[in-house]
Structure 1
Amino acid sequence: MAITTRQQLSFTEIKSSFAYLGSLLSQDVVDTAQSLNWLHAGEQGHAELTLRGERLLSTAGYEAQLRQALLDYIDIEHPSWVQNATFGRSRVISFAGTQIAQVFVEAGLADGTDDAVVAFWDALAARARGQRDDKLTQIGRIGERLTIKFETQRTGRLPTWIAIDNNADGYDVLSVVDASDFKRLTIEVKTSTQGASGFAMLTRNEWDMAMESDAHVFHLWSLRDQSKPQLAVVGNESMLAHMPVDQGRGVWDCTKIPFSSFIDAFGPPKNQPPGS
């Protein structure tokens, strides 16, 4: 697209004058730039950057440009595979096809959990849900990051952030029991900015996972004051007292548990044992 800022050429002239743009056929590049609304024909018939194209061209860094290009492609083309974003990035990359999957790799999105990478996948998941901004997801990510930090300090080992790759597993973070016991500890994270007035929405899948795991805890993060987060580490036995049961033909699917149920367990994060 940078060629349009240096020369006044029509789309036909670009295609006839340049067989390739980089390693790509110029016709494919021009057609894609038009379909994604990066270029349009100006009053004189010359190829000109649109506002979307100017934004893409002004984005600093190759990876950042690729990420913006992916979002533009998704917003315009609405590919069916984007619906998998609600299940995590591994599902998206598996269904997106080889070429698109390679773009995810080159954009630095296939792994890693830095802020920009997480923000991209959350933006993609929001689009899959038909939303541009998902405040609850953002709050949930804060709690998950706090759990990653807490578990690293508690065990001396960096846990695995499961939810960023696949949120269908029924838990968010995979850690270990403690610094001397490397048995798997699965952790479901629930976060609220409402303090004791907040609640945890727990799905049947999450509870089933908790019961199947040899070692499982719930991290409840109260972010009423985000500068002083409060944590309650709740074990399965304590959570069980507040869980619904199936009766007759009725089968529960999701339940809402008040944070106030565990009010005495909340406090500043400290190296407390699992399920204390």
Structure 2
Amino acid sequence: MKEYVKQTIENGIGYIEFFHPAHNSLPSNLLKQLASAITDAGLNPDIKIVVLKSGGDRTFCAGASFNELISIDNAEKGREFFLGFANVINAMRTCPKFIIGRIQGKAVGGGVGLAAATDYCMATKHAAIKLSELNIGIGPFVVGPAIERKIGLSGLSQIAMDANTFYSSEWAQQKGLYTQVFETLNELDDAVASFSENLAAYNPDAMRALKEVFWEGTEDWNQLLLERAEISGKLVLSEFTKKKLKDFK
């Protein structure tokens, strides 16, 4: 299957789905489409609630596109690539509608950041998480603020430093990343649909105001995530990282 970002609307719910054949990794073009789709959903009067999901039934998101990381050859390209994740997170943050996360499988790196930037996130028992960035010589700089906001600095530092370990969906639920964990994908989908449809019946003005309250203190993220993207964009050029990426390839 070819990569895509698509949106469907059902019962007032805007389902935004992304897919990439390489474990739902996200190259720059998909990141741009995803940020645009989220922004458009926020402006669409037919959409009351947004659900973020990915295609397939295994991996939610493997994070940054490995092939694109390898191709980065200067700091400007590096900054622009990592700004892709920053723009998606900021689109989710500023979207005036609640975003529900539907995490069907493993989330790695930027995928953890996407899950953390949702307003309410549900998962299956297979949705383990890992921040692998330090293992290749960079770090979860861009997604770090969103993850820290959900699981605290202690949780972030634990998974960022333990970069080779997958942490279970139960651990993620205990830390507050996931609100509920389900045994099967069908149970997850039923719960996401039911919860979203209930929310869609609420006062949209009240939900918009409540979302602003939830995200208080993040008003500087446009600048903060830009600065973080610049850090990652420089580190990805280091000899250590270039060697690691070649070894993995």
* Greater relative contact order (CA < 8 Å, ≥ 6 in sequence): 2
> Greater share of helix residues, 1 or 2?
2
TM-score relative to the length of structure 1: 0.23
